[in-house]
Amino acid sequence: MSENPPIQVRSKLPKVGTNIFTVMSQLAMEHGAVNLGQGFPDFEVPGRLVQALEKAMRDGHNQYAPMPGIAALRQAIAGKTERCYGYRPDADLEITVTSGASEAILDAVQAVVRPGDEVIVLDPCYDCYEPAIQLAGGVAVHVPLDPETFAPDWALVRSAITPRTRMLMTNTPHNPSGAMFSAADIDSLTQLLRGTEILLLSDEVYEHIVFDGARHESALRHPELRERAFVVSSFGKTYHCTGWKVGYCIAPPALSAEFRKVHQYNTFCTFTPAQVAFAEMIEAEPGHYEGLGAFYQDKRDRFREQLLSTRLRPLPVPGGYFQLVDYSAVSDLDDAAFCRWLTTEHGVVAIPLSPFYGAPPQGQRLARLCFAKNETTLGAAIERLRGL
């Protein structure tokens, strides 16, 4: 037996365990539950995209891509951005292709946040935000959104700003609630940041999944915001291929230069055949992303109508592909216990909201369901939920 003492590891992420999505998906497999927890579609990727990927591999696009992304894809992103938001970023200096939006978020934070810097996050927020901040030595400052509407209280955000504030992280359409920034929110955000050196990280991965004729208020539409922003997007969300892990970040040249310093030593580059395929898909089928809101609105409306036949109360969903439900008529369990009970006893997986908070609201009885599923999956879930 070794005489050496056991190795002691001082964790850089002491509060982080296995994330809630992995935990609930494992529970789903163990109990044969319908998985409306983790946010991935279970329907087909667009045919053209699959064919383009296969062709790219057969044509020999199988080696390292250029670090910022292949030129054809960056040019396609620039054109798409101009069509959507009236602004054409410089494909060479402002667009970087990443291995998913999560990589882009990590790279942006690592690029500009130093030890002791504060980063404001709006709760509930996606669970990768705070670990990225902690790994950079920064401090996450949690500011709660309205617990019913999930709208920001900009006066509250302003009160959280200190001389150490380096960045504000926003997410619209919002995960987990689907809430969206209005034009008034953008005005308030612009005024809040005006005259400061605070940077913006705008997580816009659900940018094309917006409903009821609303307009996605991208930071890229607004010159004062985009000149200080990292804007993060996801091909996985837009093209139903979350497992391909391809996203991108648009930022002004000075920010992109720092972003790329981290990116090149993180992943260096992203899966080359997929980049070739996305470049073709964006140019050949713009109708896909243009019609994505209507595609998901049909799913939202049908799912909501079905939920009304259960004891769960669906909250409004302005965008994204998640449906929050109030389960207080069913149970007084806390959300983590309720979601475990729902999985093990009724065979449907939901995600509790508490992991999205620094400090969850007392007595909140909400769970998140994903409706990016085919009708068979959603129908099977509804049948089980009617038994609550």
Are 105 and 147 within one domain? yes
Q: How far apart are CA 196 and CA 298, in angstroms?
A: 42
Are 359 and 250 within one domain? no
Q: Which residues pair with 240 in a beta bridge?
A: none
Q: CA-based angle 15:9:354, to the nearest 5?
A: 10
Are 170 and 316 within one domain? no
Are 279 and 295 within one domain? no
Q: In 3-state terms, the chain is what percent helix, strand and coil (to 5)? A: 40, 15, 45
**Phi, psi at residue 59, to the nearest 5°?**
-85, 0
Per-residue pLDDT of the chain (388 residues; tens, 9 = 90+): 567 888 889 999 988 877 788 888 888 789 889 999 988 899 999 999 999 999 999 999 999 999 999 999 999 999 999 999 999 999 999 999 999 999 999 999 999 999 999 999 999 999 999 999 999 999 999 999 999 999 999 999 999 999 999 999 999 999 999 999 999 999 999 999 999 999 999 999 999 999 999 999 999 999 999 999 999 999 999 999 999 999 999 999 999 999 999 999 999 999 999 999 999 999 999 999 999 999 999 999 999 999 999 999 999 999 999 999 999 999 999 999 999 999 999 999 999 999 999 999 999 999 999 999 999 999 999 999 999 9
CATH number, residue 381 = 3.90.1150.10
Residue 358 lies in a domain: yes
Residue 255 lies in a domain: yes
Residue 130 lies in a domain: yes
Q: Which domain holds residue 365?
A: 20-38+291-385
**Taken in order 291, 294, 298, 303, is the CA torsion positive or negative?**
positive
Tokens of 200: 């913006």
Residue 7 lies in a domain: no
Last residue of one domain, picked from the residues 286, 308, 334: 286
Residue 71 lies in a domain: yes
Q: What is the pLDDT of residue 345?
A: 94
Q: Which long-range contacts (CB under 8 A, 24 or more apart) does 150-153 make?
A: 150/124, 150/174, 150/177, 150/179, 151/179, 151/185, 152/122, 152/181, 152/185, 152/188
Cis before residue 41, ω within 30 degrees of 0?
Answer: no
Q: What is the pLDDT of residue 319?
A: 98
CATH number, residue 177 = 3.40.640.10
Q: What is the pLDDT of residue 2?
A: 66
| Chain position carrying tokens 């696009």 | 61
Are 217 and 153 within one domain? yes
Are 281 and 309 within one domain? no
Residue 57 lies in a domain: no
Are 120 and 259 within one domain? yes
Are 204 and 118 within one domain? yes
Q: In the chain, which residue ranges form alpha helices assigned H by DSSP?
A: 20-31, 47-58, 71-85, 101-112, 129-135, 154-160, 183-193, 223-226, 235-238, 253-266, 272-284, 286-290, 292-307, 335-346, 375-385
Last residue of one domain, picked from the residues 286, 316, 342: 286
Are 195 and 108 within one domain? yes
Residue 3 lies in a domain: no
End-to-end distance of the chain based on CA atoms, in angstroms? 55
Are 192 and 316 within one domain? no
Residue 1 lies in a domain: no
Cβ atoms of 230 and 255 within 8 Å: the answer is: yes
Last residue of one domain, picked from the residues 286, 319, 354: 286
Number of domains in the chain: 2
Q: What is the pLDDT of residue 299?
A: 98
Q: How far apart are CA 341 and CA 331, in angstroms?
A: 10
Are 353 and 371 within one domain? yes
Are 203 and 306 within one domain? no
Q: How far apart are CA 78 and CA 72, in angstroms?
A: 10
